[in-house]
Structure 1
Amino acid sequence: MIVGRVVDENRVLIWNAEDAYKLRKDHRIVGNYVGALPCKPRQDVWLGLPLELMPEETTLLLEQGVLRLHEAQRPPLPNIHSTEEGVVEKKLKMSTDDHATVDRVVRWSFPQTPQEELHYKVFRDLWTKGYYLTAGLKYGGDYLVYPGDPFLVHSHYVAIVKDSSEVFSTQQLILAGRVTTKVKKNVLLCSQNTSNGELVYITVQWTGIT
Protein backbone atom coordinates (compact mmCIF):
# COMPACT_ATOMS: atom_id res chain seq x y z
CA MET A 1 0.00 0.00 0.00
CA ILE A 2 1.36 3.39 -1.03
CA VAL A 3 1.23 6.11 1.61
CA GLY A 4 0.56 9.72 0.68
CA ARG A 5 1.13 12.61 3.05
CA VAL A 6 -1.58 15.28 3.09
CA VAL A 7 -0.35 18.87 3.42
CA ASP A 8 -2.72 21.85 3.83
CA GLU A 9 -5.81 19.61 3.45
CA ASN A 10 -5.74 19.32 -0.37
CA ARG A 11 -2.11 18.61 -1.34
CA VAL A 12 -0.92 15.01 -1.37
CA LEU A 13 2.80 14.26 -1.49
CA ILE A 14 4.58 10.97 -2.21
CA TRP A 15 8.03 10.90 -0.61
CA ASN A 16 9.12 7.35 -1.44
CA ALA A 17 10.95 6.96 -4.77
CA GLU A 18 9.84 3.35 -5.25
CA ASP A 19 6.21 4.35 -4.70
CA ALA A 20 6.50 7.17 -7.25
CA TYR A 21 7.98 4.74 -9.79
CA LYS A 22 5.27 2.16 -9.09
CA LEU A 23 2.51 4.72 -9.61
CA ARG A 24 3.91 5.62 -13.01
CA LYS A 25 4.77 2.10 -14.17
CA ASP A 26 1.79 0.13 -12.86
CA HIS A 27 -1.01 2.71 -12.64
CA ARG A 28 -0.19 5.39 -15.25
CA ILE A 29 -0.20 8.09 -12.58
CA VAL A 30 2.40 10.74 -13.37
CA GLY A 31 1.96 13.45 -10.73
CA ASN A 32 4.30 16.42 -10.57
CA TYR A 33 7.72 16.51 -8.94
CA VAL A 34 8.02 19.60 -6.74
CA GLY A 35 11.26 19.04 -4.80
CA ALA A 36 14.78 20.26 -5.49
CA LEU A 37 17.49 17.85 -6.56
CA PRO A 38 20.15 17.50 -3.83
CA CYS A 39 22.95 17.66 -6.40
CA LYS A 40 21.55 20.76 -8.17
CA PRO A 41 19.29 22.65 -5.78
CA ARG A 42 19.57 26.04 -7.52
CA GLN A 43 17.68 25.19 -10.70
CA ASP A 44 14.06 24.38 -11.53
CA VAL A 45 14.38 22.56 -14.86
CA TRP A 46 14.70 19.08 -13.33
CA LEU A 47 12.90 18.48 -10.05
CA GLY A 48 12.79 15.56 -7.64
CA LEU A 49 10.85 14.18 -4.70
CA PRO A 50 8.32 14.71 -3.31
CA LEU A 51 5.81 13.84 -6.01
CA GLU A 52 2.62 15.89 -5.76
CA LEU A 53 -0.61 14.27 -6.91
CA MET A 54 -3.51 16.06 -8.52
CA PRO A 55 -6.81 15.72 -6.59
CA GLU A 56 -8.15 13.58 -9.45
CA GLU A 57 -5.16 11.24 -9.21
CA THR A 58 -5.60 10.93 -5.46
CA THR A 59 -9.29 10.04 -5.69
CA LEU A 60 -8.64 7.51 -8.45
CA LEU A 61 -5.92 5.76 -6.45
CA LEU A 62 -8.13 5.66 -3.37
CA GLU A 63 -10.90 4.04 -5.40
CA GLN A 64 -8.42 1.50 -6.75
CA GLY A 65 -7.33 0.64 -3.21
CA VAL A 66 -3.73 1.56 -4.01
CA LEU A 67 -3.26 4.64 -1.81
CA ARG A 68 -3.65 5.40 1.87
CA LEU A 69 -3.58 8.99 3.13
CA HIS A 70 -1.87 10.04 6.34
CA GLU A 71 -1.48 13.45 7.85
CA ALA A 72 1.94 14.99 7.24
CA GLN A 73 3.84 15.26 10.52
CA ARG A 74 5.76 18.49 11.00
CA PRO A 75 9.24 18.05 12.51
CA PRO A 76 9.87 19.60 15.96
CA LEU A 77 11.46 23.01 16.06
CA PRO A 78 15.23 23.04 16.69
CA ASN A 79 16.44 24.03 20.14
CA ILE A 80 19.39 26.39 19.61
CA HIS A 81 21.84 26.97 22.47
CA SER A 82 25.50 27.77 22.96
CA THR A 83 28.05 25.30 24.27
CA GLU A 84 30.85 26.13 26.72
CA GLU A 85 33.21 26.67 23.77
CA GLY A 86 30.84 29.24 22.29
CA VAL A 87 29.83 27.04 19.33
CA VAL A 88 26.18 27.21 18.40
CA GLU A 89 24.48 23.84 18.28
CA LYS A 90 21.12 22.81 16.90
CA LYS A 91 19.41 19.96 18.61
CA LEU A 92 15.96 18.66 17.91
CA LYS A 93 13.91 18.76 21.03
CA MET A 94 12.51 15.26 21.28
CA SER A 95 10.11 14.55 24.10
CA THR A 96 8.27 11.37 24.96
CA ASP A 97 5.19 12.85 23.32
CA ASP A 98 7.07 13.15 20.01
CA HIS A 99 7.84 9.44 20.02
CA ALA A 100 4.21 8.63 20.75
CA THR A 101 2.79 10.69 17.87
CA VAL A 102 -0.03 8.87 16.11
CA ASP A 103 0.14 8.61 12.31
CA ARG A 104 -3.42 9.69 11.66
CA VAL A 105 -5.34 8.59 8.58
CA VAL A 106 -6.91 11.46 6.64
CA ARG A 107 -10.36 11.45 5.06
CA TRP A 108 -10.39 12.67 1.46
CA SER A 109 -13.29 14.74 0.14
CA PHE A 110 -12.68 15.30 -3.58
CA PRO A 111 -14.82 15.80 -5.61
CA GLN A 112 -17.34 17.96 -3.77
CA THR A 113 -18.86 20.43 -6.26
CA PRO A 114 -20.64 19.54 -9.54
CA GLN A 115 -17.72 21.06 -11.46
CA GLU A 116 -15.20 18.90 -9.59
CA GLU A 117 -17.37 15.83 -10.17
CA LEU A 118 -17.39 16.49 -13.93
CA HIS A 119 -13.62 17.01 -13.99
CA TYR A 120 -13.04 13.77 -12.11
CA LYS A 121 -15.45 11.84 -14.33
CA VAL A 122 -13.57 13.00 -17.43
CA PHE A 123 -10.19 12.26 -15.86
CA ARG A 124 -11.23 8.75 -14.81
CA ASP A 125 -12.80 7.98 -18.19
CA LEU A 126 -9.71 9.03 -20.16
CA TRP A 127 -7.47 7.14 -17.73
CA THR A 128 -9.66 4.04 -18.14
CA LYS A 129 -9.20 4.30 -21.91
CA GLY A 130 -5.44 3.88 -21.40
CA TYR A 131 -4.22 7.47 -21.54
CA TYR A 132 -1.72 9.23 -19.28
CA LEU A 133 -2.91 12.59 -17.95
CA THR A 134 -1.11 15.57 -16.47
CA ALA A 135 -2.16 19.12 -15.61
CA GLY A 136 -2.88 21.20 -18.71
CA LEU A 137 -2.78 24.74 -17.34
CA LYS A 138 0.44 25.45 -19.23
CA TYR A 139 -1.50 25.31 -22.51
CA GLY A 140 -4.75 26.81 -21.29
CA GLY A 141 -6.55 23.52 -20.65
CA ASP A 142 -7.44 21.24 -17.77
CA TYR A 143 -5.39 18.17 -18.75
CA LEU A 144 -2.72 17.11 -21.20
CA VAL A 145 -3.61 13.73 -22.69
CA TYR A 146 -0.76 11.38 -23.66
CA PRO A 147 -1.04 8.09 -25.59
CA GLY A 148 1.98 6.77 -23.67
CA ASP A 149 4.41 7.68 -20.90
CA PRO A 150 5.14 11.45 -21.02
CA PHE A 151 8.86 10.62 -20.76
CA LEU A 152 8.62 8.87 -24.12
CA VAL A 153 5.92 10.63 -26.15
CA HIS A 154 4.37 14.07 -26.52
CA SER A 155 0.76 14.76 -25.59
CA HIS A 156 -1.79 14.60 -28.42
CA TYR A 157 -4.61 16.57 -26.81
CA VAL A 158 -5.25 19.52 -24.54
CA ALA A 159 -8.46 18.57 -22.74
CA ILE A 160 -10.85 21.37 -21.77
CA VAL A 161 -13.71 20.37 -19.48
CA LYS A 162 -16.92 22.35 -19.83
CA ASP A 163 -20.36 21.88 -18.33
CA SER A 164 -23.11 21.62 -20.93
CA SER A 165 -24.64 24.85 -19.60
CA GLU A 166 -21.40 26.83 -19.95
CA VAL A 167 -20.93 29.14 -22.91
CA PHE A 168 -17.83 28.47 -24.99
CA SER A 169 -17.54 31.43 -27.31
CA THR A 170 -16.15 31.37 -30.83
CA GLN A 171 -13.27 33.56 -29.68
CA GLN A 172 -12.35 31.08 -26.93
CA LEU A 173 -12.49 28.24 -29.43
CA ILE A 174 -10.22 30.06 -31.87
CA LEU A 175 -7.74 30.94 -29.11
CA ALA A 176 -7.63 27.36 -27.89
CA GLY A 177 -7.20 26.04 -31.43
CA ARG A 178 -4.38 28.41 -32.29
CA VAL A 179 -2.48 27.75 -29.06
CA THR A 180 -2.70 23.97 -29.34
CA THR A 181 -1.79 24.00 -33.03
CA LYS A 182 1.30 26.06 -32.25
CA VAL A 183 2.52 23.25 -29.98
CA LYS A 184 1.33 20.49 -32.36
CA LYS A 185 -1.66 19.32 -30.32
CA ASN A 186 -5.44 19.18 -30.75
CA VAL A 187 -8.18 20.59 -28.56
CA LEU A 188 -10.33 17.97 -26.82
CA LEU A 189 -13.60 19.48 -25.58
CA CYS A 190 -15.08 17.37 -22.80
CA SER A 191 -18.64 17.66 -21.52
CA GLN A 192 -21.57 15.57 -20.31
CA ASN A 193 -24.89 14.78 -21.93
CA THR A 194 -27.56 16.05 -19.53
CA SER A 195 -30.16 13.54 -20.76
CA ASN A 196 -28.25 10.31 -20.13
CA GLY A 197 -25.16 11.42 -18.19
CA GLU A 198 -22.72 10.09 -20.79
CA LEU A 199 -19.52 11.96 -21.52
CA VAL A 200 -19.18 13.71 -24.86
CA TYR A 201 -15.84 14.43 -26.55
CA ILE A 202 -15.27 16.78 -29.47
CA THR A 203 -11.86 17.06 -31.11
CA VAL A 204 -10.98 20.40 -32.66
CA GLN A 205 -8.12 20.68 -35.15
CA TRP A 206 -7.01 24.08 -36.40
CA THR A 207 -6.27 24.05 -40.12
CA GLY A 208 -6.21 27.77 -40.90
CA ILE A 209 -7.08 29.41 -44.20
CA THR A 210 -4.91 29.13 -47.31
Structure 2
Amino acid sequence: MIKLTLLKDHILVYDVEDWISLRKKHRIVGNIIGNTQFIPSLPTKLLPEEALLLLNKNLAALYEYEDVSEPSTDQSLQAKFEETVLYVQQEEYKEHRKLQIGSIIDTIFEKKRAAGDKRTKDEMLKNMVDSSSSINKNNMLWPIFLKDNTSVSKLISKETILPLTTPLRTAVFQDLWEKGYFITNGEKFGGDFLVYFGDPVVHHAIFIVRCIELETTFLPKELVAFGRLGVSVKKRAVFASIKNSNISYITLNWIDA
Protein backbone atom coordinates (compact mmCIF):
# COMPACT_ATOMS: atom_id res chain seq x y z
CA MET A 1 0.00 0.00 0.00
CA ILE A 2 1.45 3.34 -1.08
CA LYS A 3 1.64 5.91 1.70
CA LEU A 4 0.45 9.42 0.87
CA THR A 5 1.12 12.22 3.32
CA LEU A 6 -1.10 15.30 3.52
CA LEU A 7 0.86 18.39 4.61
CA LYS A 8 -1.39 21.44 4.58
CA ASP A 9 -2.77 21.33 0.99
CA HIS A 10 0.10 19.26 -0.42
CA ILE A 11 -0.09 15.51 -1.03
CA LEU A 12 3.41 14.08 -0.80
CA VAL A 13 5.19 10.77 -1.32
CA TYR A 14 8.45 10.35 0.62
CA ASP A 15 9.30 6.68 0.17
CA VAL A 16 11.49 5.86 -2.84
CA GLU A 17 9.94 2.41 -3.30
CA ASP A 18 6.48 4.00 -3.38
CA TRP A 19 7.71 6.53 -5.95
CA ILE A 20 9.09 3.76 -8.17
CA SER A 21 5.84 1.84 -7.87
CA LEU A 22 3.80 4.91 -8.78
CA ARG A 23 5.79 5.50 -11.94
CA LYS A 24 6.38 1.98 -13.19
CA LYS A 25 3.23 0.16 -12.10
CA HIS A 26 0.54 2.83 -11.96
CA ARG A 27 1.54 5.53 -14.49
CA ILE A 28 1.43 8.22 -11.81
CA VAL A 29 4.12 10.84 -12.44
CA GLY A 30 3.78 13.49 -9.75
CA ASN A 31 6.24 16.36 -9.45
CA ILE A 32 9.53 15.99 -7.57
CA ILE A 33 9.88 19.06 -5.35
CA GLY A 34 12.86 18.17 -3.14
CA ASN A 35 16.49 18.65 -4.09
CA THR A 36 20.01 17.92 -2.98
CA GLN A 37 22.99 20.10 -3.80
CA PHE A 38 23.12 18.61 -7.27
CA ILE A 39 19.98 16.70 -8.30
CA PRO A 40 16.20 16.69 -7.68
CA SER A 41 15.05 14.34 -4.95
CA LEU A 42 11.98 13.26 -3.00
CA PRO A 43 9.39 14.10 -1.86
CA THR A 44 7.12 13.94 -4.88
CA LYS A 45 4.02 16.11 -4.87
CA LEU A 46 0.90 14.55 -6.37
CA LEU A 47 -2.00 16.28 -8.04
CA PRO A 48 -5.23 15.88 -6.04
CA GLU A 49 -6.59 13.93 -9.01
CA GLU A 50 -3.62 11.54 -8.90
CA ALA A 51 -4.12 10.97 -5.18
CA LEU A 52 -7.86 10.42 -5.51
CA LEU A 53 -7.32 7.90 -8.28
CA LEU A 54 -4.94 5.91 -6.08
CA LEU A 55 -7.34 6.08 -3.15
CA ASN A 56 -10.36 5.12 -5.27
CA LYS A 57 -8.44 2.12 -6.65
CA ASN A 58 -7.33 1.11 -3.12
CA LEU A 59 -3.70 1.45 -4.15
CA ALA A 60 -2.81 3.98 -1.45
CA ALA A 61 -3.70 5.25 2.00
CA LEU A 62 -3.72 8.89 3.09
CA TYR A 63 -2.06 10.01 6.33
CA GLU A 64 -1.31 13.24 8.11
CA TYR A 65 0.97 14.20 11.00
CA GLU A 66 0.22 16.52 13.86
CA ASP A 67 2.47 19.34 15.04
CA VAL A 68 5.07 19.13 12.29
CA SER A 69 5.26 22.83 11.53
CA GLU A 70 6.06 24.39 14.91
CA PRO A 71 9.67 25.63 14.93
CA SER A 72 11.98 24.84 17.79
CA THR A 73 12.27 27.51 20.49
CA ASP A 74 15.73 26.32 21.51
CA GLN A 75 17.88 28.77 19.54
CA SER A 76 21.23 27.33 20.66
CA LEU A 77 20.19 23.84 19.57
CA GLN A 78 19.00 25.20 16.25
CA ALA A 79 22.27 27.11 15.67
CA LYS A 80 24.35 24.02 16.47
CA PHE A 81 22.28 21.92 14.11
CA GLU A 82 22.64 24.47 11.30
CA GLU A 83 26.42 24.67 11.80
CA THR A 84 26.64 20.90 11.56
CA VAL A 85 24.59 20.81 8.36
CA LEU A 86 26.71 23.61 6.87
CA TYR A 87 29.94 21.76 7.68
CA VAL A 88 28.66 18.51 6.16
CA GLN A 89 27.60 20.31 2.97
CA GLN A 90 30.97 22.07 2.70
CA GLU A 91 32.93 18.84 3.03
CA GLU A 92 30.65 16.93 0.69
CA TYR A 93 30.85 19.59 -1.99
CA LYS A 94 34.64 19.79 -1.72
CA GLU A 95 34.86 16.05 -2.34
CA HIS A 96 32.56 16.41 -5.32
CA ARG A 97 34.67 19.25 -6.79
CA LYS A 98 37.86 17.33 -6.09
CA LEU A 99 36.60 14.44 -8.20
CA GLN A 100 35.50 16.79 -10.98
CA ILE A 101 38.73 18.78 -11.16
CA GLY A 102 40.88 15.73 -10.48
CA SER A 103 39.63 14.11 -13.68
CA ILE A 104 41.20 16.92 -15.75
CA ILE A 105 44.02 18.11 -13.48
CA ASP A 106 46.75 16.56 -15.67
CA THR A 107 45.75 18.74 -18.61
CA ILE A 108 45.41 21.82 -16.41
CA PHE A 109 48.79 21.15 -14.79
CA GLU A 110 50.59 20.89 -18.13
CA LYS A 111 49.09 24.12 -19.44
CA LYS A 112 49.82 26.09 -16.27
CA ARG A 113 53.38 24.73 -16.07
CA ALA A 114 53.95 25.79 -19.66
CA ALA A 115 52.72 29.27 -18.68
CA GLY A 116 55.26 29.47 -15.84
CA ASP A 117 53.18 28.31 -12.83
CA LYS A 118 55.56 26.71 -10.31
CA ARG A 119 52.96 25.03 -8.09
CA THR A 120 52.85 21.27 -7.76
CA LYS A 121 49.91 19.34 -9.16
CA ASP A 122 48.54 18.73 -5.64
CA GLU A 123 48.81 22.43 -4.81
CA MET A 124 46.95 23.39 -7.98
CA LEU A 125 44.22 20.86 -7.24
CA LYS A 126 43.79 22.09 -3.67
CA ASN A 127 43.71 25.76 -4.69
CA MET A 128 41.16 25.13 -7.42
CA VAL A 129 38.94 23.05 -5.15
CA ASP A 130 39.09 25.65 -2.36
CA SER A 131 38.29 28.53 -4.71
CA SER A 132 35.40 26.82 -6.46
CA SER A 133 33.56 25.14 -3.60
CA SER A 134 32.61 27.94 -1.26
CA ILE A 135 29.41 27.25 0.64
CA ASN A 136 28.19 29.56 3.38
CA LYS A 137 24.94 30.30 5.17
CA ASN A 138 23.82 32.48 2.28
CA ASN A 139 23.93 29.74 -0.35
CA MET A 140 23.67 26.49 1.62
CA LEU A 141 20.60 24.29 1.49
CA TRP A 142 18.77 25.39 4.61
CA PRO A 143 16.99 22.73 6.65
CA ILE A 144 13.66 23.35 8.33
CA PHE A 145 14.38 22.82 12.01
CA LEU A 146 11.45 21.33 13.88
CA LYS A 147 10.86 20.47 17.48
CA ASP A 148 11.05 16.83 18.49
CA ASN A 149 7.78 15.32 17.33
CA THR A 150 6.49 12.24 19.11
CA SER A 151 3.04 12.18 17.53
CA VAL A 152 2.22 9.35 15.17
CA SER A 153 0.63 9.60 11.76
CA LYS A 154 -3.08 9.03 11.51
CA LEU A 155 -5.09 7.60 8.67
CA ILE A 156 -7.50 10.12 7.18
CA SER A 157 -10.35 9.94 4.70
CA LYS A 158 -10.04 10.88 1.03
CA GLU A 159 -12.83 13.40 1.63
CA THR A 160 -10.14 15.60 3.18
CA ILE A 161 -8.64 16.34 -0.24
CA LEU A 162 -11.88 16.61 -2.25
CA PRO A 163 -11.92 20.44 -1.86
CA LEU A 164 -8.54 20.58 -3.64
CA THR A 165 -10.09 19.61 -6.97
CA THR A 166 -13.47 19.30 -8.72
CA PRO A 167 -15.59 16.26 -9.64
CA LEU A 168 -15.09 17.10 -13.32
CA ARG A 169 -11.29 17.19 -13.13
CA THR A 170 -11.26 13.99 -11.06
CA ALA A 171 -13.51 12.18 -13.55
CA VAL A 172 -11.52 13.34 -16.60
CA PHE A 173 -8.22 12.35 -15.03
CA GLN A 174 -9.51 8.88 -14.16
CA ASP A 175 -10.99 8.39 -17.62
CA LEU A 176 -7.71 9.32 -19.34
CA TRP A 177 -5.74 7.12 -16.94
CA GLU A 178 -8.02 4.16 -17.59
CA LYS A 179 -7.45 4.63 -21.33
CA GLY A 180 -3.76 3.92 -20.68
CA TYR A 181 -2.28 7.43 -20.87
CA PHE A 182 0.25 9.17 -18.66
CA ILE A 183 -1.11 12.48 -17.33
CA THR A 184 0.65 15.48 -15.78
CA ASN A 185 -0.27 19.02 -14.72
CA GLY A 186 -1.15 21.16 -17.76
CA GLU A 187 -1.11 24.64 -16.21
CA LYS A 188 2.05 25.78 -18.00
CA PHE A 189 0.31 25.16 -21.34
CA GLY A 190 -2.99 26.77 -20.39
CA GLY A 191 -4.84 23.54 -19.67
CA ASP A 192 -5.71 21.26 -16.79
CA PHE A 193 -3.71 18.22 -17.94
CA LEU A 194 -1.02 17.21 -20.39
CA VAL A 195 -1.56 13.75 -21.86
CA TYR A 196 1.19 11.40 -23.09
CA PHE A 197 1.26 8.06 -24.92
CA GLY A 198 4.12 6.94 -22.65
CA ASP A 199 6.30 8.06 -19.77
CA PRO A 200 7.04 11.83 -20.05
CA VAL A 201 10.74 11.04 -19.64
CA VAL A 202 10.80 9.70 -23.21
CA HIS A 203 7.58 11.02 -24.77
CA HIS A 204 6.22 14.48 -25.59
CA ALA A 205 2.67 15.37 -24.63
CA ILE A 206 0.15 14.88 -27.41
CA PHE A 207 -2.90 16.61 -25.88
CA ILE A 208 -3.54 19.71 -23.79
CA VAL A 209 -6.81 18.96 -22.01
CA ARG A 210 -8.97 21.69 -20.53
CA CYS A 211 -11.92 20.59 -18.36
CA ILE A 212 -15.09 22.62 -18.93
CA GLU A 213 -18.71 22.36 -17.84
CA LEU A 214 -20.99 21.26 -20.66
CA GLU A 215 -22.89 24.55 -20.82
CA THR A 216 -19.72 26.70 -20.97
CA THR A 217 -19.73 29.33 -23.72
CA PHE A 218 -16.71 30.85 -25.46
CA LEU A 219 -16.00 33.85 -27.59
CA PRO A 220 -14.66 32.87 -31.02
CA LYS A 221 -11.31 34.46 -30.23
CA GLU A 222 -10.98 32.28 -27.11
CA LEU A 223 -11.41 29.12 -29.19
CA VAL A 224 -8.92 30.44 -31.72
CA ALA A 225 -6.41 31.23 -28.95
CA PHE A 226 -6.61 27.75 -27.43
CA GLY A 227 -6.41 26.08 -30.84
CA ARG A 228 -3.43 28.19 -31.89
CA LEU A 229 -1.73 27.46 -28.58
CA GLY A 230 -1.97 23.75 -29.30
CA VAL A 231 -0.51 24.21 -32.78
CA SER A 232 2.36 26.37 -31.53
CA VAL A 233 3.53 23.70 -29.07
CA LYS A 234 2.76 20.77 -31.41
CA LYS A 235 -0.08 19.37 -29.32
CA ARG A 236 -3.81 18.91 -29.83
CA ALA A 237 -6.05 21.26 -27.86
CA VAL A 238 -8.88 19.27 -26.25
CA PHE A 239 -11.96 20.24 -24.26
CA ALA A 240 -13.31 17.64 -21.82
CA SER A 241 -16.72 17.67 -20.15
CA ILE A 242 -19.31 15.27 -18.74
CA LYS A 243 -22.30 14.42 -20.94
CA ASN A 244 -24.92 11.91 -19.87
CA SER A 245 -22.57 10.58 -17.16
CA ASN A 246 -19.87 9.97 -19.78
CA ILE A 247 -16.72 11.95 -20.49
CA SER A 248 -16.98 13.80 -23.80
CA TYR A 249 -13.92 15.16 -25.64
CA ILE A 250 -13.80 17.83 -28.34
CA THR A 251 -10.52 18.31 -30.21
CA LEU A 252 -9.72 21.62 -31.92
CA ASN A 253 -8.01 20.92 -35.24
CA TRP A 254 -6.29 23.85 -36.88
CA ILE A 255 -6.30 23.78 -40.69
CA ASP A 256 -4.62 26.60 -42.60
CA ALA A 257 -6.63 27.64 -45.62
Deviation at 1:106, TM superposition (A): 2.0
Q: Percent identity?
A: 34
Name 1:43's counterpart in structure 2: none
Is the Cα–Cα contact under 8 Å of residues 209 and 239 in structure 2 kept in the other structure?
yes
1:19 aligns with 2:18: yes
Name 1:81's counterpart in structure 2: 76
Shift of the 34–81 alpha-carbon distance from structure 1 to 2, 3 Å rule, reads closer
1:47 aligns with 2:97: no
Which has the larger strand fraction?
A: 1
User: 5+ residue gaps in structure 1?
Assistant: 41-45, 83-87
Deviations 1:110-142 (A, max 9, x none): 4459x8111111110110000010010111001
Query: Larger C-alpha radius of gyration, 1 or 2?
Result: 2
1:156 aligns with 2:206: yes
Name 2:181's counterpart in structure 1: 131
CA–CA distance in structure 1, aligned partners of residues 162 and 213 of structure 2: 15
Name 2:230's counterpart in structure 1: 180
Higher RCO by CA contacts (8 Å cutoff, separation 6 or greater): 2
Deviation at 1:206, TM superposition (A): 1.6
CA–CA distance in structure 2, aligned partners of residues 167 and 24 of structure 1: 37
Name 2:253's counterpart in structure 1: 205
Name 2:114's counterpart in structure 1: none
Is the Cα–Cα contact under 8 Å of residues 195 and 207 in structure 2 kept in the other structure?
yes
- Structure 2 counterpart of 1:135, which letter? N
Shift of the 164–77 alpha-carbon distance from structure 1 to 2, 3 Å rule, reads same
CA–CA distance in structure 2, aligned partners of residues 81 and 20 of structure 1: 36
Structure 1 stretches of at least 4 aligned residues deviating more than 3 Å after TM superposition: 88-94, 110-113
How many residues matched? 190
Shift of the 103–165 alpha-carbon distance from structure 1 to 2, 3 Å rule, reads same
Deviation at 1:183, TM superposition (A): 0.9
Is the Cα–Cα contact under 8 Å of residues 79 and 90 in structure 1 kept in the other structure?
no
- Structure 2 counterpart of 1:89, which letter? K
Shift of the 148–80 alpha-carbon distance from structure 1 to 2, 3 Å rule, reads same
CA–CA distance in structure 2, aligned partners of residues 112 and 81 of structure 1: 41
- Structure 2 counterpart of 1:39, which letter? Q
Shift of the 129–48 alpha-carbon distance from structure 1 to 2, 3 Å rule, reads same
CA–CA distance in structure 2, aligned partners of residues 168 and 125 of structure 1: 24
Name 2:51's counterpart in structure 1: 58
Is the Cα–Cα contact under 8 Å of residues 182 and 199 in structure 2 kept in the other structure?
yes
1:96-107 matches, within 5 Å, as: 98-99=149-150, 101-107=151-157
- Structure 1 counterpart of 2:17, which letter? E
Secondary structure of 1:89's aligned partner:
helix
Shift of the 89–189 alpha-carbon distance from structure 1 to 2, 3 Å rule, reads closer
User: 5+ residue gaps in structure 2?
Assistant: 83-145
Which has the larger helix fraction?
A: 2
Shift of the 16–169 alpha-carbon distance from structure 1 to 2, 3 Å rule, reads same
Superposition TM-score, scaled by structure 1 size: 0.82
- Structure 2 counterpart of 1:207, which letter? I
Shift of the 78–117 alpha-carbon distance from structure 1 to 2, 3 Å rule, reads same
Deviation at 1:72, TM superposition (A): 3.5
1:141 aligns with 2:139: no
Superposition TM-score, scaled by structure 2 size: 0.68
